[in-house]
Amino acid sequence: MKVQQFSRIGFIMAAAGSAVGLGNIWKFPYMTGMYGGGAFVLVYLITIAFVGFSVMVAEMLIGALGRRDTVGSFERLAPPNQKGWKYAGFMGFNGVIIMTFYSVVIGWIFYYLFEIFTGLPTSTDTAKATFDALVGAKAGVQIFWHTVAVVIVAYIVYRGIKGGIEKFNLVLMPALLLILFGLLAYATTLEGFGKAWDFMFASDWSKINSEAIVRAVGHSFFTLSLGMGAIMTYAASLPKHASITKTAFIVTFMDTLIALVAGLVIYSFLFHEGAPAAQGPGLVFISLPVVLSHFGTLGTVLALLFFLALAFAGITSAISLVEPVVQYLIDRFDMTRAKAVVVTSLGYWLIGIGALLSYTKAWGETFSIGGKPLFDILEYTTDSILLPLGGLLIAIFVGYVLQKDRVYSALEHEMGKTYFNIWRFSIRYVAPVALVFMMLNLMGILKI
Ligand code: PFF
């Protein structure tokens, strides 16, 4: 099988596009609010530095050496007596499970992009009513926007690595950076900026608990797109002489920077208006529009820019969630790209409808299992089980299964001996321990 190759900058933008997503601009800021600010941010940063970055290098390495779809890469790299490792490659399917709800949220963002023009809500009650009406009652509207999201993503993926994924990332990522840094520049002029800075960087350890730690570890994986074969699939198209270490570093750095910038921007606006921090998932859909309404016409422009950035971030991540399965279907079943995209998209589109209906009043019960809405089940399963499992398999495979010489010759010239040894220690010991700890904790087996 012949996979197309990215250009070097195209790969960086595509991998960063995958990493920078709703996780950075929607989830990270509200999680920071929920878990008390600075201490949560610090745990998140430590995990990114000591675990996330190492696993990113490992996942890229599997893709770059394997040069196949995720199943094919594991199969090709595993020693002859351990070909069962190919099943680890099915982590590529986690992406489409995520897409079932990720595309629903992108749909909400599209809805808001238009809703903004009808005027921003001036009170939390009205804002909450708008959001609740959308999620709880307007099934048809949600299905419409969910479908729009699926079609846009399908089109980009259908255009392939060069003509779709690389091209769109090369436009959308700089646009996203421009908007976010523009918003940051404006936010620094607000009184709330200093408070936002303190909230995010002054660690108050009394607010941290085991749940916050586990969520920070989990989120650091989600935000870097690790454990689902997305980065691995892209890395199969890595230009031959590109440095894995350098690329992984740039992507990790950009992802972290953007999460912090998004947090600073949102909290500057919020604190400027004296709004509280802990708001949960409604933070950008409920609190932010209300706060921005106080800025008059400028507020509408700011809201528009913010939701555009969110939409761009969502789309560039979504394509990386779909591509692994598409690549798998092309490789394994000799499907044309068009057919693979249609099959994949139809599948998650349908389940996505179930997910969005599970939040509505009318269908909620039908689409719940054991009292839990399908949306939450899908999110929990991917976020808390499949993703750490994927990360663990990557760490074990690269740390213990792949021949050391092979790993060494691929990375040593990039890292030098000392850093290589530190990285290898992290992959063999730190990452597995952190991930196992996290999984046990989430299953309620090990509580700290
Ligand atoms: N990293 C993306 C975000 O932060 O929103 C989400 C994501 C994309 C997770 C791709 C996993 C993945 F494979």
- DSSP structure string for 413-433: HHH-HHHHHHHHHIIIIIHHH
Cα–ligand 1 centroid distance for 133 (angstroms) = 27
Closest CA to 440 of 261, 252, 249, 218: 218
Burial of 46 (0-12, 13-18, 19+ CB in 10 A): middle
Both structure tokens of 414:
């990039």
Cα–ligand 1 centroid distance for 296 (angstroms) = 34
Cα–ligand 1 centroid distance for 405 (angstroms) = 31
Cα–ligand 1 centroid distance for 105 (angstroms) = 13
Is position 448 within any domain? no
Residues whose CB is less than 8 angstroms from the CB of residue 182 and which lie 6 or more positions away in sequence, other chains included? 305
Domain that holds residue 389: 8-442
C-alpha span between 248 and 346 (Å, rounded) = 32
pLDDT at position 276 is 75
C-alpha span between 41 and 215 (Å, rounded) = 11
Closest CA to 96 of 347, 386, 380, 368: 347
- Tell me the longest C-alpha to C-alpha distance in the chain: 67
Q: Is the CB of 24 under 6 A from ligand 1?
A: yes
Element (DSSP H or E) covering residue 378 = helix 374-380
Is position 1 within any domain? no
Is position 387 within any domain? yes
End-to-end CA distance of the chain: 48
pLDDT at position 445 is 63
Is position 303 within any domain? yes
pLDDT at position 233 is 95
C-alpha span between 130 and 26 (Å, rounded) = 18
C-alpha span between 340 and 319 (Å, rounded) = 14
Q: Is the CB of 26 under 6 A from ligand 1?
A: no
pLDDT in tens, the chain (448 residues): 556 789 989 999 999 999 999 999 999 999 998 888 898 999 999 999 999 999 999 999 999 999 999 999 999 999 999 999 999 999 999 999 999 999 999 999 999 999 998 989 988 888 889 999 999 989 999 999 999 999 999 999 999 888 898 989 898 999 999 999 999 999 999 999 999 999 999 877 777 788 788 888 888 999 999 999 999 999 999 998 899 999 999 999 999 999 999 999 999 988 887 777 767 778 889 888 888 898 889 999 999 999 999 999 999 999 999 999 999 999 999 999 999 999 999 999 999 999 999 999 999 899 999 889 999 899 888 877 888 899 999 999 999 999 999 999 999 899 999 999 999 999 999 999 999 988 888 776 655 5
Atom of ligand 1 nearest to the CA of 223: 4
**How many domains does the chain contain in total?**
1
Helix (H, G, I), strand (E, B) or coil at 373: strand
What is the pTM (predicted TM-score) of this model?
A: 0.92
Is residue 349 a contact partner of residue 150, using CB atoms and an 8 Å limit? yes
Residue ID of nearest Cα to ligand 1 atom 9: 225
User: CATH code at 122?
Assistant: 1.10.4160
Is position 358 within any domain? yes
Pocket test for ligand 1, best of 56, 60, 94, 98 (most atoms within 8 A of CB): 98
Q: Which residues, listed in sequence order, are joined to residue 149 by a DSSP beta bridge?
A: none
Is position 370 within any domain? yes
Is position 282 within any domain? yes
Looking at 227-358, list the stretches that DSSP marks H as alpha helix, in order from N- to C-terminal side.
230-235, 244-272, 288-293, 297-333, 337-357
Pocket test for ligand 1, best of 233, 310, 317 (most atoms within 8 A of CB): 317
Q: Is the CB of 390 under 6 A from ligand 1?
A: no
What one-letter code names the amino acid at 444? G
The CA distances from residue 80 to 86, 89, 379, 407, in Å, are: 11, 16, 36, 17
Is residue 294 a contact partner of residue 55, using CB atoms and an 8 Å limit? no
